[in-house]
Amino acid sequence: METTRPVGVESLFEKLFEFSPDSIVVTDEAGRIREVNSQVERLLGYTRAELLGQPVETLLPERFRESHPGHRTRYSSQPTVRPMGSGLPLHARRKDGTEFPVDIMLSPVETPAGRFVLSVLRDITERKKAEEALRVSEQRFRTLVEGVRDYAIFMLDPQGRVSFWTASAERMKGYQAEEILGRHFSEFYTQEDVESGKPSAHLEQAASHGRVEYEGWRLRKDGSRFWASVVLTAIRSPQNELLGFSKITRDFTDRRKVEEALRASEARFRSLFEFSPDAILATDAEGKIAEVNGQGERFFGYSRDELLGRPIELLIPERFRPAHPGHRIEYSAHAKTRPMGVGLELYARRKDGTEFPVDIMLSPIETGTGKIVLSVVRDLSEKKRAEEALERKELEKQYLEEELGLEHNFEEIIGETPGLKRVLKQVETVAATDVTVLILGETGTGKDLIARAIHHLSSRRAQTLVKLNCAAIPTGLLESELFGYEKGAFTGAISQKIGRLERAHQGTLFLDEIGDLPLEVQPKLLRALQEKEFERLGGTRTIPVNMRLVAATNRDLEKLVASREFRSDLYYRLRVFPITVPALRERRADIPLLARYFVDMHARRMGKQIESIPPDVVRALTKWDWPGNIRELENFIERAVLLTKGPTLRVPLAELQAPAAAEPPLKDDVTLETKEREHILRVLHETKGMIGGAKGAAARLGLKRTTLNSKLKKLGIEREDYI
């Protein structure tokens, strides 16, 4: 039956076309412009009269005009909908000659007058205008669907049973949802149509052809009849599985022509709605999803049927779900448009459980059936990855600056003794590989210098050497410092933090004092080393990591393993290539070289000129056992440089001469540990028990405060022993 559109509805569609937030150009098969909306005039600077009848190439930059007819001809031979976001670098040209980048959706439209091409242009330099246009379009769409009283939309399952019931269907048919859901749609047919098999025939036709339209008498709940125009559409999965049917019923008893025009309008709006580059969802007052576009299905991995009627919390990570209904109710009470980019760190959840960062624009919309909330969701995964990469680069830069600013940034390792040369040969051998290295040795022997040498001689030298001292960080903070954490992972986690492990990606991670690594953190480190991946605290995303591990300790790890203070599996994973750095007393021949090096370095820093070190000083330095090793020697030399007034180094030799009572003849059973204990006690007596500070025992011994505390515990030294 042929129908025409009434004037009033044509006027409505002209307004909808005219006030579309996007620029719309309609061209014929010859590429001539047949219609434009006012947005085109505003966007391009032409009047409608100047454009109608002109070739569409008028709107292109001159460099593209010659080749464009060929592209247009190829498109006309195989016309398909080309959505926005196709990745083509497209540009438009204003009347004043200026150019700007655009995104274009092309849609072939078949009409009785011939084929036309609908071109929707979007200025991608002003995304916010496009987002506002989407909000307005969805509002109009929902208002039209739910507000018009003489048509109904509802859904059927593959067998024809009612599976989704809208307010408009309730108004037209007279059934409430609880009365009709699950019942066969043939109850709306007259008895004669049921007997003739029309309900089954309509389902078969829709399933076979995808869509079927028909008209006929239908029944309301009260038994009254009305003339209905029906559109029955099959809904299929991407695998072409029949999921059900959508059914649009229009009351054409006295408004048939109006409703036919409305159907065409709805199709145009749905096209704009479906091809939005963002996911668009509408939720009702109870927070249930009432509508979703195709991009929403692609974003979240659910089909539209799986989403409709489900609570919006389905798309929110589980850790945020308990609090979300409260936020939703609060928003409803003070509903107003919340634009994108408000600074909230938001995440969404896909059907497979993975999470991704999003930005969301919320807009309340009043409809004839109540208030709905329109949510425009934008995937920020690529932006987030770029920000994390930038943050990682900034952290690496900061870390490198910290490394360059270290006081002990030696340009070379000083020494000529066989023990040291053996160590350097081992460094040269292992540096060229990615093998894990365990550096062993007493405190102050220069294990950090050996670690740095391994890194700078390796293929990873262009990347960062990240250092973490396991003894210098409180136990409760060590795990978060190593692995990082997500915002909200624990009280006080107000932002995301990238850990040392992640910072060392493609570089080297140096874990100093590995023997002080808490037992509860050890299996997590072992897993990261074995599987080359980890998760931040409070996170669910697995982060791959490719780094080389170098560890160091002054403790006996084998004893720690035996006493169950250190995991054996981690110990063997670390001890692939052990390097033992000799104590300074084992390389006494290097002490004069080191002393000269430290004198020159600190004299230069203090603006002094010290030309010589007396022979008796050299002998005393060489004879002393240096429990604090090179660090103690440097601190001692620094203090001597400070005291020196002339060109000859003045050294407080009394500090290198233990009292007679403290130096009894060594017996066979007197161990190095006993001598170390006595030396530390002597220094503690001299500093009156003060451990930290510039004049404390730790500084005198050339040790870190945390290291000295560990030694006191290891040697069984109590406070009453030296106070």
The Cα–Cα gap between 241 and 247 comes to 18
Give yes or no for residue 390 having a pLDDT over 70.
no
Cβ burial, residue 35 (10 Å; 0-12/13-18/19+): middle
Give yes or no for residue 2 having a pLDDT over 50.
no
Torsion of CA 157, 163, 166, 167, to 10 degrees: 140
If asked whether residues 443 and 460 sit together in one domain, one would say yes
What is the DSSP secondary-structure string of 10-58? Answer: HHHHHHHHHT-SSEEEEE-TTSBEEEE-HHHHHHHS--HHHHTTSBGGG
Torsion of CA 680, 682, 684, 687, to 10 degrees: -140
Does 672 reside within a domain?
yes
Number of Cβ within a 10 Å radius of residue 704 = 20
Does 347 reside within a domain?
yes
Q: What is the pLDDT of residues 344-360, one digit of tens each?
A: 778 889 999 998 888 88
What's the pLDDT band for 259 if we cut at 50, 70, 90? Answer: very low
Q: What is the pLDDT of residues 180-220, one digit of tens each?
A: 999 999 999 999 999 999 999 999 999 999 999 988 888 99
Task: Locate 374 and state its tokens.
Answer: 């329109």
The Cα–Cα gap between 598 and 606 comes to 12
Q: What is the pLDDT of residues 139-158, one digit of tens each?
A: 665 565 555 555 788 899 99
The Cα–Cα gap between 174 and 222 comes to 7
Does 566 reside within a domain?
yes
The Cα–Cα gap between 226 and 620 comes to 114
Give yes or no for residue 22 having a pLDDT over 80.
yes
The Cα–Cα gap between 373 and 558 comes to 63
pLDDT in the model for residue 704: 77
Q: Helix (H, G, I), strand (E, B), or coil: what is residue 161?
A: strand
The Cα–Cα gap between 251 and 259 comes to 8
Would you say 390 and 398 are in contact if contact means Cβ atoms under 8 Å apart? no
Cα distances from 622 to residues 442, 443, 574, 598, 665, in angstroms, run 18, 18, 34, 15, 20
If asked whether residues 574 and 599 sit together in one domain, one would say no
Does 170 reside within a domain?
no
What's the pLDDT band for 663 if we cut at 50, 70, 90? Answer: very low
If asked whether residues 388 and 375 sit together in one domain, one would say no
Would you say 676 and 444 are in contact if contact means Cβ atoms under 8 Å apart? no
Give yes or no for residue 417 having a pLDDT over 60.
yes
Question: CATH no. for residue 296?
Answer: 3.30.450.20
Task: Choose the weakest-confidence range: 47-56, 198-207, 242-251, 399-408.
Answer: 399-408
pLDDT in the model for residue 185: 92
If asked whether residues 508 and 394 sit together in one domain, one would say yes
- Numbers of helices and strands, H then E, in the chain: 28, 24
Give yes or no for residue 521 having a pLDDT over 80.
yes
pLDDT in the model for residue 669: 40
If asked whether residues 301 and 436 sit together in one domain, one would say no
If asked whether residues 575 and 676 sit together in one domain, one would say no
What is the DSSP secondary-structure string of 84-149? Answer: S-----EEEE-TTS-EEEEEEEEEEEEETTEEEEEEEEEETT-HHHHHHHHHHHHHHHHHHHHH-T
Q: Name the domain boundary from 96, 125, 154.
A: 125
Would you say 427 and 412 are in contact if contact means Cβ atoms under 8 Å apart? no
Number of Cβ within a 10 Å radius of residue 13 = 15
If asked whether residues 411 and 317 sit together in one domain, one would say no
If asked whether residues 571 and 617 sit together in one domain, one would say no
Task: Count up the domains in the chain and report the number.
Answer: 4
What's the pLDDT band for 383 if we cut at 50, 70, 90? Answer: confident
Task: Locate 648 and state its tokens.
Answer: 């000859």
Give yes or no for residue 448 having a pLDDT over 80.
yes
Would you say 233 and 206 are in contact if contact means Cβ atoms under 8 Å apart? yes
Q: Name the domain boundary from 549, 580, 611.
A: 580
Query: What ranges make up the beta strands (E) of 441-537?
Result: 465-469, 484-485, 497-498, 508-512, 533-534
State how far Cα 329 lies from the chain centre.
28
What's the pLDDT band for 384 if we cut at 50, 70, 90? Answer: confident
Q: Name the domain boundary from 79, 108, 125.
A: 125
Task: Choose the weakest-confidence range: 248-257, 307-316, 569-578, 638-647.
Answer: 248-257
Does 153 reside within a domain?
no
Q: What is the pLDDT of residues 316-341, one digit of tens each?
A: 898 888 888 888 777 777 777 777 66
Q: Which residue from 717, 696, 714 is spatially nearest to 705, judged by alpha carbons?
A: 696
What's the pLDDT band for 406 if we cut at 50, 70, 90? Answer: very low
pLDDT in the model for residue 77: 84
Does 707 reside within a domain?
yes
Would you say 200 and 156 are in contact if contact means Cβ atoms under 8 Å apart? no
| Cα-only R_g, the chain | 39
Give yes or no for residue 660 having a pLDDT over 50.
no
Domain hosting 612: range is 595-721
Torsion of CA 508, 509, 515, 520, to 10 degrees: -140
Q: What is the pLDDT of residues 486-501, one digit of tens each?
A: 887 777 777 788 899 9
Predicted TM-score of the model (pTM): 0.44
If asked whether residues 571 and 540 sit together in one domain, one would say yes
pLDDT in the model for residue 703: 77
Phi/psi region, residue 437 (left: phi>0; alpha: psi -120 to 50; beta: rest), is: beta
Would you say 483 and 537 are in contact if contact means Cβ atoms under 8 Å apart? yes
If asked whether residues 658 and 636 sit together in one domain, one would say yes
Say what percent of the chain tops pLDDT 90: 35
Q: What is the pLDDT of residues 86-134, one digit of tens each?
A: 667 788 899 999 988 888 888 888 888 888 888 888 888 766 455 566 6
Does 172 reside within a domain?
no
Number of Cβ within a 10 Å radius of residue 691 = 19
What's the pLDDT band for 576 if we cut at 50, 70, 90? Answer: very high
Phi/psi region, residue 31 (left: phi>0; alpha: psi -120 to 50; beta: rest), is: left
Write down the mean pLDDT value for the chain. 83
If asked whether residues 70 and 109 sit together in one domain, one would say yes
Give yes or no for residue 4 having a pLDDT over 90.
no
If asked whether residues 599 and 527 sit together in one domain, one would say no
Does 169 reside within a domain?
no
Kindly give the pairing relationship between strand 99-111 and strand 114-123: antiparallel
Question: CATH no. for residue 711?
Answer: 1.10.8.60
Q: What is the pLDDT of residues 636-652, one digit of tens each?
A: 999 999 989 889 998 88
Question: CATH no. for residue 575?
Answer: 3.40.50.300
List, in sequence order, every residue forming a beta bridge with 577; answer none if it has no partner.
437
What's the pLDDT band for 342 if we cut at 50, 70, 90? Answer: low
